[in-house]
Amino acid sequence: MQLTYLGHAGWLCEVGSLRLLFDPILGASHAGGLFSVEPRRRLSAESLRADFIFVSHVHFDHFDVASLGQLAQADDESVVVTSDPLIAETALALGFHHAKVVPPGARLELADGVSVITTPSAAPEVEWGLIVCDASGCVWNLIDTVFGSHEDVERIRKVALGERQLDLAIAPLQPMREIAMATAGFIGFEARAYQHLLACARAAGAKAVTPSACGERFVEPFEAMNAVVYPISRERAVRDFARFAPEARLAVPELGEQLTLQAGALTLSPGALPIERHEPSSRMPATLRCFRPWSPVPLSDPNLQQQPYEALVCTIEPWLRNQLAPALKRELGDHAEFNGKSFVLEVVYEQTVEHFSLRADGELRAEFDPEYDSLVAIAASMLADVIEGRRAWVEPLLAGLLRCVERGTVIAPGELQELPIAPIFLYYALSVRESVERAVRYRTRQWLGAR
């Protein structure tokens, strides 16, 4: 079995006569232009033609419409295997003839004695990890799998493999603070969360461990977010894990390098795939992802498409009046604890800021209520893009261009509780999942229209 590291969560696994491709990101940027794989590069779809393409979940650093479109052009007979029906639907729309939704806990028997087992995750979104086994050994790609405890990792491995040895775990080692700043949470380093990641990687019980899903960064004009999202570098995570689990071997390929597993023995060698590098060094300059969470990132509107102010207003204000205000009334209006509560939206344009105060009875006023119970701020162009289906909520959220703080409470004699509300109240009018589906279908249409 040979595994070539493609950057971030991408791997090409050659096993028996089969080529398996994991979570492919081919372009120089992804997630609506927010991120690049680090080091920045571009991959050829022709060189990655695979029998099976595994897409673990719907997050845009694992599921990229343009990359799947290129792969469909290169070989439309590749079978797309995924945890999520939206990914399967998109793969078929892009031109693949075969797309299969497989739940966690399934076992797929492929050619040449190759088996693939999907492993469960405790994440709120549907996702899985993958165990690949053949005569040469077993590899568990944990991808972004979330575990409640390290005991869960041991249990899942034993259910999947029984007494068989796990030779390699591709495991998440780096903590991330993706939305802590955006949701007014704790933005510093969380040692307990870091310990949990390392403990879960160790509990996989593999003879060797390599870091998973740890190679991307924000690009212009979102680069300031690098200082608050990534507390630990890949290099430090590897060093820390070596001390945390001294019994495990560390196998750390650079971009394009290949891990070969043969009879339980693991070797690292240069790979042969063509990779178009966009930066001369394979290592990120220290300043690009230096953790400095005390430096706040201003919320401004990058307005990437240069949409005129008037056009943005014509998209946003009718949506607030006709969609958001009625949604709050529908979802919250019948609940006494929301009576009199104030929900404030701050819309940040390039040259101005506008405020709207809403209540659970459907009232909407163009003013700022300083006694708000929930405050949401968002860049105007990003809000318009989400309203019109060009983006999903996750993109302005990850970019630091959608932020919220909640201070609403429900008070009774001797009792105080947090107000039971989604902190980002915009979701009542358009759910996260619906925004993802709309954005994916928009990008699919864009890709097919450009062919």
Structure tokens at 335: 């609940």
**Domain ranges in the chain?**
2-289, 309-450
List phi, psi (to 5°) of 236.
-70, -40
Using CA atoms, how far apart are residues 319 and 82, in angstroms rounded to an integer?
Answer: 34
pLDDT-derived band at 215, boundaries 50, 70, 90: confident
- Is domain 2-289 classified as CATH 3.60.15.10? yes
309-450: CATH topology? Nonspecific Lipid-transfer Protein; Chain A (3.30.1050)
Give the list of residues 6+ apart from residue 94 with CB closer than 8 angstroms, or none.
Answer: 65, 68, 69, 72, 444, 447, 448
CB atoms within 10 A of CB 335: 12
- pTM value > 0.85: yes
- pLDDT at position 213 over 90: no
Calculate mean pLDDT across residues 96-105.
97
Residue type, 359: R
Q: Convert the pLDDT of each residue in 52-72 to its tens digit.
A: 999 999 999 999 999 999 999
Position 281 confidence tier, pLDDT thresholds 50, 70, 90: very low
pLDDT one-digit tens code per residue, 312-366: 999 999 999 999 999 999 999 999 999 999 999 999 999 999 999 999 999 999 9
Contact 82, 102 (CB under 8 A): yes
Which residues, at least 6 apart from 124, have a Cβ–Cβ distance to it below 8 Å?
Answer: none
DSSP-based three-state secondary structure for 318:
helix
| Alpha-carbon gap, residue 302 to 299, rounded angstroms | 9
- Residues with Cβ < 8 Å from 203, sequence gap 6 or more? 150, 151, 153, 154, 157
pLDDT at 166 > cutoff 80: yes
Whole-number average pLDDT of the chain? 93
384-398: pLDDT as tens digits = 999 999 999 999 999
The answer on pLDDT for 279 being more than 70 is: no
d(CA 349, CA 239): 44
pLDDT tens digits, 130-157: 999 999 999 999 999 999 999 999 999 9
